[in-house]
């Protein structure tokens, strides 16, 4: 790509649950993910983002910071998980019990078990 072309990308970060920050950017044609993060201002606004160790992705796929961007890429900054999803599922199952969980939780009145 030539360096005089312009790219339109979006950098997205969710600092908390149900809160999403989207920053649309116009960058040079050979920009990287790290340059997009720096240009977005999110690293300055949220100091808890450690751009060296934080996992980033483009459209849900994990990428490195030196990945070259393409037109209309969506750069996503991922927060670390607080709870392992497997552990959370086990705890939910223990709270609900075997009758309140699973595929056949809601059955029609008068129906046979499993239907």
pLDDT at 100: 56
Q: Give me the pLDDT at residue 51, please.
A: 74
Neighbouring-strand partners of residue 7 = 27
Lowest mean pLDDT among 20-24, 36-40, 77-81, 97-101: 97-101
User: Which structural domains are found in the chain, ordered by start?
Assistant: 6-77 (3.10.20.30)
Closest CA to 34 of 17, 21, 49: 49
The per-residue pLDDT for 1 is 43
User: What average pLDDT does the segment 68-97 reach?
Assistant: 88
User: Which CB contacts under 8 angstroms, 24+ apart, belong to 79-83?
Assistant: 79/14, 79/15, 80/55
User: With 90 as the cut, is the pLDDT of residue 27 above it?
Assistant: yes
């Amino acid at each position: 790509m030539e360096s005089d072309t312009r790219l339109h990308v979006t950098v997205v970060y969710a600092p908390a649950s149900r809160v999403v920050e989207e920053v649309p950017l116009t960058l040079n044609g050979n920009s990287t993910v790290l340059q997009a993060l720096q240009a977005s201002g999110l690293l300055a606004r949220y100091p808890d983002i450690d751009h060296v160790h934080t996992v980033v992705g483009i459209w849900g796929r994990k990428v490195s910071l030196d990945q070259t961007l393409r037109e209309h890429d969506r750069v996503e900054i991922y927060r670390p998980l607080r709870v392992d999803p497997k552990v959370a599922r086990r705890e939910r199952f223990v709270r609900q019990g075997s009758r309140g969980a699973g595929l056949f939780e809601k059955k029609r009145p008068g129906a046979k078990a499993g239907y």
